[in-house]
Amino acid sequence: MSERMVMSQPRPFIMTSVSSQWTSGICDCFQDLPQCCLAFWCLPCFTCKTAHEAGECVCLPLLDTFGLIPPMTTALRVSVRQRYGIEGTICRDCLYSCCCGPCTWCQIAREMKTRKNPITFVSMAAR
């Protein structure tokens, strides 16, 4: 009579970070210091880089200088919010775009960076 040996490999427990909220606040610019510094020292370069990463035309952020409500900042914030299923309103998007432009661009960049790789390995213990 032969005995059967069963072996199992440990499998990682995977948790996703999908949420209906922004992963960082509007004033959490220091969570990503390199992006914060680039936005502070050269906002036009940072906005063009972020627009490109979002799949938009690199020159579109330059349109923000011609209006009272920055159209590209507002549009990109709404686009990112809809792409990732983040709750919010167009009024809040306009308010942040008008009053906190650089912080809004930093938040958009952080969100895209965070949501680009949403899987986190929590443990490698056997189950």
Q: Tell me the DSSP string of 62-115.
A: GGGGGSSS-HHHHHHHHHHHHHTT----HHHHHHHHHH-HHHHHHHHHHHHHHH
pLDDT of residue 125: 56
Q: pLDDT means per 10 residues in the chain (127 residues)?
A: 64 60 91 92 93 90 78 93 93 92 94 78 56
Domain assignment present for residue 2? The answer is no
4 in any annotated domain: no
For the chain, the domain total comes to 1
What span, in angstroms and rounded, lies between the C-alpha atoms of 116 and 118? 6
Residue 83 lies in a domain: yes
60 assigned to some structural domain: yes
What is the per-residue pLDDT for 115?
87
Q: What's the pLDDT at 68?
A: 67
Residues in CB range of 70: below 8 A, 6 or more apart: 64, 97, 98, 101
pLDDT value at position 106?
95
Distance CA 92, CA 38 (A): 25
- Residue 44 in any domain: the answer is yes
